[in-house]
A and B are shown apart, each in its own frame.
Chain A
Amino acid sequence: MSFEEKEMAENIKRISGVNPRKCMKCGKCSGTCPAYEEMDYHPHEFVAMVEKGRIDELLASKSIWTCLSCFACVERCPRSVEPAKLIEAVRLEVIRAQGANHLKAVQIPELLDEKLPQQAIVSAFRKYSK
């Protein structure tokens, strides 16, 4: 674990309010995750890796963009670890960096269709950009 990773791990824990040490490694979060197939690192791995300080890998993972924020893992975690908060915190670590927005306004027009609700655009910006 590099010094930067250690710092980031602390920051992730702080802003998410998640204590990864509460995890009993039952895997229920990953068992319940509807986006599991689309993820490279899965919810339970986020918990373990933040604990271990393997942050660089998480920052580069595609999981932070595929988490659906459906809160199934938050609802069902038997020990109230709430991995979705951790994933969001990692995502924030990325997009809060200068110029690191995942979604840019110029990309929008080609993604639009006639019926697409505003909400989809607003939420995408909230989730992927700062």
Chain B
Amino acid sequence: MQIKIDENGNFKPTIVAFCCNWCSYAGADLAGTSRLSYPANVKIVRVPCSCRVNPLFILRAFQRGADGVILCGCHPGDCHYTTGNYYTRRRMTLLFNMLDYLGIERDRTRVEWVSAAEGAKMARVMNEFVARICELGENKRLEDLRCKKSLEE
């Protein structure tokens, strides 16, 4: 596990971002080209399409200690593969609702549509997301959901 507190005692969250190769990854590159900064906590995993992202990946990230997971894809209607992000939208809508239903903070997961031209949006979204995760603090709930005892000790 990473050490999540920096030398000043501030919480340093781990954020996994899945970005589709065609729009969002290019949008993240554009943010870089435009020197638009966002926190270093965000690490991007390149996937061909947002529809490649399996709920298993998201839960795995949380399992391994991620505090927030964000998924970025082309705007609906603009998917490089025509329809991929439409499936993503349904899958993630249902998955996020389920996490919320289990009492996991809804804001730990997010989907954003970021086109290749939206470097500024990418930076803004990442800044917002990290700020929100910092407010929420470390993700304990998914881990603790099952081990009632250890928490109560």
Q: A and B touching (C-beta < 8 Å)?
A: no
